[in-house]
């Protein structure tokens, strides 16, 4: 499977799962995705998919409320600029998804022949 469509699929899955079940679904979805999706760099792909999934959700939220105003008010509580809070929101699912993908053994590994 080509990487970009696979990452897009993961992003949509992460977004839907987060909306339905919460943040903890991110590693589950990423692990499942990494297990069944044959792409060359699943960890990177999962990280990208996780970040993209939450970007979609954040974008949807921004359409319904003043996300930047909220960031400006809340980020200083953590002694951080507003952009850092936004960045953390995208980085966290990326790390979660990437780590989850790194744990699972892909069903079909692109590098299997190299090992053999």
* Distance in angstroms (rounded) separating the CA atoms of residues 111 and 92: 28
Pattern 2-31, other proteins, x by CB under 8 A: -------------x--xx--xxx--x----
DSSP string, 49-88: HHHHHHHHHHHHHHHHS-HHHHHHHHGGGGT--HHHHHHH
- Residue 116 as a binder of other proteins (CB under 8 A): the answer is no
* Distance in angstroms (rounded) separating the CA atoms of residues 20 and 81: 30
* Distance in angstroms (rounded) separating the CA atoms of residues 96 and 87: 14
Kindly state the number of chain residues that form the binding site for other proteins, as judged by CB under 8 A.
Answer: 43
Tokens of 50: 């996780």
Compute the least distance from the CB of residue 34 to other proteins, in Å. Answer: 10
Pattern 30-59, other proteins, x by CB under 8 A: -------------x----------x--xx-
- Residue 64 as a binder of other proteins (CB under 8 A): the answer is yes
The site for other proteins (CB under 8 A) is made up of 15, 18-19, 22-24, 27, 43, 54, 57-58, 60-62, 64-67, 69-70, 72-78, 88-89, 92-93, 95-96, 98-103, 105, 111, 114-115
């Amino acid at each position: 499977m080509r990487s970009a469509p696979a990452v897009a699929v993961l992003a949509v899955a992460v977004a839907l799962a987060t909306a339905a079940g919460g943040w903890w679904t991110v590693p589950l979805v990423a692990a499942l995705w990494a297990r069944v999706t044959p792409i060359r760099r699943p960890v990177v792909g999962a990280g990208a998919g996780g970040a993209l999934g939450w970007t979609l959700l954040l974008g949807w939220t921004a359409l319904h409320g003043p996300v930047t105003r909220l960031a400006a008010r809340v980020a200083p509580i953590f002694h951080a600029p507003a952009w850092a809070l936004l960045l953390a929101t995208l980085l966290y699912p990326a790390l979660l998804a990437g780590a989850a993908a790194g744990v699972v053994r892909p069903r079909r590994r692109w590098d299997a022949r190299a090992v053999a």
